[in-house]
Chain A
Amino acid sequence: MKSNTLKYSIVILLLLQIPLLVFAQHRISGTVKNNTGEAIPFAGISLRSTSEGTKTDSAGKFSLQTKAKGKQLLQVTSVGYRSLKKEITIADSSIYLDLILESNAQSLNEVIISAGSFEASDRAKGASLTAIDAYTVAGNNADLALALRSLPGSQQIGEQEGLFVRGGTGDETKQFIDGTLLKNPNYPSVPGIQQYARLNPGLFKGILFSSGGYSALYGQAMSSALILESSDMPDKSSVYYSVFSSNLGAGIQELAKNKKSSYGITVGYSNQTLYNSVVPQRVSYFSGPEYLVGDANFRIKTGKTGMLKFYTNWSISDVGMRNADIDSAALRSSYQVKGVSSYNNLSYRDYLNDDWKLDAGLAYSYNRVNTTQKLIGGDEQTVELPNEPFAGKNYHRLINSDFAQGRVVFTRMFSHNQALRFGAEHFYSKDHGMANDTTIALTDNLTAAFAEGDIYLTDNLAAKVGVRTEHSSVISKWAIAPRISLAYRLGSGGQFNLAYGIFYQEPQNDFLYQTNRLNFSNATHYILNYTKKVNNRFFRIEAYYKKYKDLVKTAPILSNNGTGYARGIELFFRDKKTIRNLDYWITYTYLDTKRDYLNYPGEIRPYFAAPHTATIAIKKSFPEINSFVNASYAFATGRPYYNIRYSNAENAYKIYDQGTTKDYNVLNLQLVHLFSIFKSWKQKPFSGVSIGANNLLGTRQVFGYNYSANGNIKLPITLPATRFFYAGIFMSFGIDRTKDITDSNLN
């Protein structure tokens, strides 16, 4: 029996050998497993040179016959894993290989560095934020920056637009779209009244809100960066419109049949005249407020992995208002600002091969701000008074700004999700215009180069090390900014993060119009953070210290002699688990900051800094009745205010009066109900109604005080109307966009 078996085996062996002998084929066989030792079925195995290939079976085994000889490149691919390339030498014998593929899922391998930042993306799991979570906080006025005030680190500023982060001004936060700077995110400023954002927050699938310590890929923002990633292709074609109390909107998204390209156009018009005639306003508007915005996008997939996106946004605005003049009971002050703006962004990304990725972007924006301020008498006629404090109250200013940016970033990817990124960008900006009879002209070329490495130290320890260098032509200065962050992952969802970096920023154009003998201002950040994400709950605590240097001083002379610091502790807790269909987060922000800048007589707590801030964002859905309740509440202790004036006696600026405003409280509420009508239609439309109120409780809010020239009168800066109401209906055909629409609040 034994000998029979042996014979049989020999025959089989011989039979197996025959094809090898006849065709001189070689056999490559083996297994493909993941790094936990589990077999990977259906993994593709191929030889680069001959494009011969096979797939693994259910046990992860494969066998490939080939005529190829000598040095060959074997490629192994499987969905969910990083593709593996292995050089093999095919000699006469067959080859057996045990191959291990690394998962490309971030959660399994990569420690994601998160010091200083909140990421809201379409890849969010559990209680991590999504872009929609971030921009659906009640009371956001469709402005991402306002929505992000519900996250720790930002101040509750109600009298102007912008994101004031960790002792920084609104100007120290910059917004970037697909890598390029969004120079003018909001409509032109109006004193004491927050202006809307130009871009719909629903355009973005990813939002990275960095309150400090951000990547070397970005610059020119001393405090904070809002890094936005625009959406790719829509899932379906669709049309929608909305009718709200003070605005109208309509849009179309068309996805090509082959799903390789898409375009979209949206139009929005907002006119508050009617609303203001029903709800009395503190100021009297003689023009608008009126805003018209249109945008279009075009997206096309190029090749297998490339994506080209074009976005263009055009807007005009007009706000004209009259206020009592603080220095004279007989006079009033008239202020009108008209804006024309365009933002254009062309971005391209592609994988050049398995290891290299390219990201490139071009942006051009145009901005025209036409401001007229007049002193008017009882007969509506302009009054010209030659003496102070009235002499400077009649003015006209027209500024045209052109801004262009080009940017390219190369990424070389390595194993263990390591990567090296490097690139360069150039910013061109040109302002020209008139302030009364004086011509204003400023041209600046800012060039930056940067490199950054994601380094994997151990399974649980990762580092991001970067450096950025910048040169500004207008001030003829160089800056070199190092950035380092580290993440150490503990078991059970906990992680420590550390970050350090220097962040430079050019002085604002208003100062550069006057002199070019200025330097970059800068801030050095030190951040320590701990996060724990587990089971649909997310806890985060962060402490930081920030040192400001070379801030712009306007007195005694225009210089970079300003200094300052900020330090604080911030808490964030989000819970989606405890109660089903209830999602809430709570934050607390402690801020201790002082700075000496502009005309401050020394280091003082700036007017925009409240020591304690707490926020709550709540979203409750009632799927049974297709309804949503969305509420947000914010509390902040009083902010300092000052009357700083020039003292002729002391030949210096002096604080004549100071104090702290009352505490700030705001409750915003929004109700949304979705319904479907025309059910028999082929394309059943999705519809909804939304009503809401900002500052529902009607709390009197004081953001600061305006002083008369002699300091005898002080008037509170408060909301234009105590409460803001909105109500409307929207309807969408094709894709179900109800979610986006209800979410963007539509004020």
Chain B
Amino acid sequence: MAILLIYFSASAQQTSGIGALQSAVTKLDQAKTAKDYQALEKEFVKIEASQPRDWLPNYYAAYCNARIGFLLQDDGDAIEPYSDRGELQAKKAESLLDKAKQKRELSELYTVMSMINQSRVFINPMTYGPKYGPIAQQFLNQAKQLNPDNPRAIYLAAWFKYNTPKMWGGDKDLAKQLATQSLKLLENAETGINPHWGKAEDQELLSKYK
């Protein structure tokens, strides 16, 4: 009896964990400002404490920190604590994935790792760019290799193509193509707990072409 009870309470906890994760991810779909992401990051960290074996809470916490880095890109030194936290969380998530089997998940995670490294470039492009810019590209390439149809990796590639000056390989037409491709892949995106962000980001990027 006791064991049964423990089993049930444990599984109840599990569902409440998933419930909490689902509710946080739903909120994430609506997040816009750095403040929103800061609050959500705290929520994911809390969820992580109850589900330490699940890669998702760490993934989302890292994603929130990466987003904050992008939103604060004109704030220089203010970004660093978020990049640091995000990197640690991404590394934790990585250690929870089976590198041979969970290729789709790894592709998602490497997309976020790419964003985190890019957020370091924003700290001071002159000093941090030469070091972290190439690392961001490497992670993105790996993400695309692991899952060529990852709409988030494709979105990030579009972001890089859009924001890089032409001389250094930027290409606005290609950026538009990639964002459109990413958006198409997101047409029937699920709304569950698995990574599904990207639609709003694609639309925002494409709106610059009007």
Q: Residues of A at under 8 Å CB distance from B?
A: 1-2, 5, 38-42, 57-59, 105, 107, 121-128, 130, 132-133, 235, 493, 533-536, 576-577, 580, 623-624, 626, 674-676, 686, 736
Binds A, one of B74-82, B98-106, B135-143: B74-82
Determine how close the nearest CB of chain B comes to the CB of A345; give it in whole angstroms.
24
Residues of B within 8 A of A126 (CB): 75-78, 123-124
Taking a contact as CB atoms closer than 8 A, the residue among A1, A128, A674 that contacts B167 in the complex is A674
Q: Is the CB of B3 within 8 A of A39?
A: no
Selected interface stretch from B87-95, B153-161, B186-194? B87-95
- CA–CA, A1 and B4, complex, Å: 11
Residues in B with CB closer than 8 Å to A576 are 74, 76
Q: Does B165 contact A (CB under 8 A)?
A: yes
Contacting residues, chain A, for B77 (C-beta < 8 A) = 107, 125-128, 493, 533-536
Please judge, given known A-B contacts A132-B126, A536-B74, A623-B165, whether A1 and B3 are in contact too, CB under 8 Å.
Answer: yes
A-B contact pairs, 6 of them (CB 8 A): A126-B77, A535-B75, A536-B78, A577-B74, A626-B166, A736-B168
Contact of A127 among B76, B80, B84 (CB under 8 A): B76
Within 8 Å by CB of A123, from B76, B78, B96, B127, lies B127
Q: What is the chain B residue whose CB lies nearest that of A580?
A: B74
Q: Are B124 and A58 in contact (CB under 8 A)?
A: no
**Residue from the list A2, A577, A675 in contact with B75, Cβ < 8 A:** A577
CA distance A41 to B91 in the complex (A): 7
- A1 & B1 in contact (Cβ 8 Å cutoff): yes
B52 interfacial contact with A, CB 8 Å: yes
Question: Which residues of B7-36 have CB atoms within 8 Å of chain A's CB atoms?
Answer: none
Q: Is the CB–CB distance between B167 and A42 below 8 Å?
A: no
**Once bound together, how far apart are the Cα atoms of A105 and B83, in whole Å?**
13
A-B contact count, CB below 8 Å?
87
Q: Within the complex, which residue of B2, B76, B91 is in contact with A577, where a contact is CB–CB below 8 Å?
A: B76
- B168 contact set on A, CB distance < 8 A: 736
Chain B residue nearest to A107 in the complex (CB): B80
Q: Which residues of B contact A132 (CB under 8 A)?
A: 126
Query: In the complex, how many angstroms separate the beta carbon of B35 from the nearest chain A beta carbon?
Result: 15
A675 to chain B: which residues have CB within 8 Å? 167
- The chain A residue sitting closest to B88, CB to CB, is A38
Q: Report Cα–Cα, A524/B37, bound state, in Å.
A: 52
Complex-state Cα separation, A122 to B93, whole angstroms = 31
Contacts of A493 in B (CB 8 A): 77
CA distance A301 to B91 in the complex (A): 30
Contacting pair A535 B165 (CB below 8 A): no
The chain A residue with its CB closest to the CB of B73 is: A580
**Interface of B toward A, CB cutoff 8 Å:** 1-3, 52, 58, 72, 74-78, 80, 84, 88, 91-93, 95-96, 123-124, 126-128, 130, 165-168
Distance in angstroms between the alpha carbons of A624 and B168 in the assembled complex: 11
Measured CB to CB, the closest approach of chain B to A706, in angstroms, equals: 43
Contacts A41-B95, A132-B126 given; does A59 touch B52 at CB 8 Å: yes
Mostly, the B contact residues are: helix
User: B88 contacts which chain A residues (CB < 8 A)?
Assistant: 38, 40-41
Chain B residues with CB under 8 Å of A42's CB are: 91, 95
Known: A38-B88, A41-B91, A126-B77. A626 touches B167 (CB 8 A): yes
| Chain B contacts for A58, CB-based, 8 A | 52, 58, 91-93, 95-96
The main secondary structure of chain A at its interface with chain B is loop
Partner of A535, one of B52, B76, B84, B91: B76
Complex Cα distance A39/B74, Å?
30
Contacts of B78 in A (CB 8 A): 126, 534-536
| Nearest CB of B to A295, in Å | 23
Complex CA gap A675/B167 in Å reads 7
Q: How far is the CB of B117 from chain A (nearest CB, A)?
A: 14
B92 to A2, Cβ gap below 8 A?
no
**Complex Cα gap A534–B88 (Å):** 24
Assembly CA distance A627 to B128 (angstroms): 21
In the bound complex, what is the Cα–Cα distance between A53 and B186 (angstroms)?
Answer: 45
Contact (A130, B127) CB under 8 Å given A577-B76, A623-B165, A675-B167 = yes
Do A235 and B130 have beta carbons less than 8 Å apart?
yes
Which residues of chain A have C-beta atoms less than 8 A from B96's C-beta?
A: 58
Report the minimum CB–CB distance from B188 to chain A (whole Å). Answer: 33
6 residue pairs, one from A and one from B, having the closest CB atoms = A126-B76, A126-B77, A536-B76, A58-B95, A535-B75, A125-B77
* Closest chain B residue to A577, Cβ basis: B74
A residues near B75, Cβ cutoff 8 Å? 126, 535-536, 577
CB atoms of B95 and A128 under 8 A apart: no
B34 to chain A, nearest CB (A): 12
Chain A positions within 8 Å of B58 at CB level = 58
Assembly CA distance A125 to B127 (angstroms): 8
Known: A124-B124, A534-B78, A535-B78. 20 other contacts (CB 8 A): A1-B1, A2-B2, A5-B3, A41-B91, A42-B91, A58-B58, A58-B95, A58-B96, A107-B77, A121-B127, A125-B76, A125-B77, A125-B127, A130-B127, A533-B77, A535-B74, A577-B74, A577-B75, A674-B167, A736-B168
How far is B72's CA from A357's CA once the two chains are assembled, in angstroms? Answer: 37
Looking at A58, A133, A534, the one whose CB has the most chain B CB atoms below 10 A away is A58
Residues of chain A within 8 A (CB-CB) of B167 are 626, 674-676, 686
CA–CA, A59 to B89, complex, Å? 10
* Interchain nearest-CB distance for A604 vs B (Å): 44
Query: In whole angstroms, what is the CA distance A576 to B75 when docked?
Result: 8
Q: Bound state CA distance, A293 and B107, in angstroms?
A: 52
In the bound complex, residues from chain B placing their C-beta under 8 Å from that of A5 are 3
Closest to B74 in A: A577
Distance to closest chain B CB from A675 (angstroms) = 7
Chain A residue at minimum C-beta to C-beta distance from B77: A126
- Central interface residue in B92, B124, B165, B166, by most chain A CB within 10 Å: B124
In angstroms, how far is the closest chain B Cβ from the Cβ of A5?
A: 8
Q: Which residue of B lies closest to A40 (CB)?
A: B88
Q: A58 vs B77: C-alpha distance in the bound complex, in angstroms?
A: 28
Complex: how many Å from CA A624 to CA B171? Answer: 11
Contact status A125-B123, CB under 8 Å = yes
Question: Contacts of B76 on A, CB cut-off 8 Å?
Answer: 125-127, 535-536, 576-577
Bound CA–CA A40/B124 (angstroms): 26
Report the Cα distance A626→B1, complex, angstroms.
73
Q: Within the complex, what minimum Cβ distance (angstroms) separates A354 from chain B?
A: 23
Using Cβ atoms and an 8 Å threshold, which residues of chain A touch B84? 105
Which of chain B's residues have a CB closer than 8 A to the CB of A122? 127
Output the nearest chain B residue to A38 by Cβ-Cβ distance.
Answer: B88
Q: Which residue of the partner chain A has the closest CB to B96?
A: A58
Nearest-Cβ distance from residue A58 to partner chain B, whole angstroms: 4
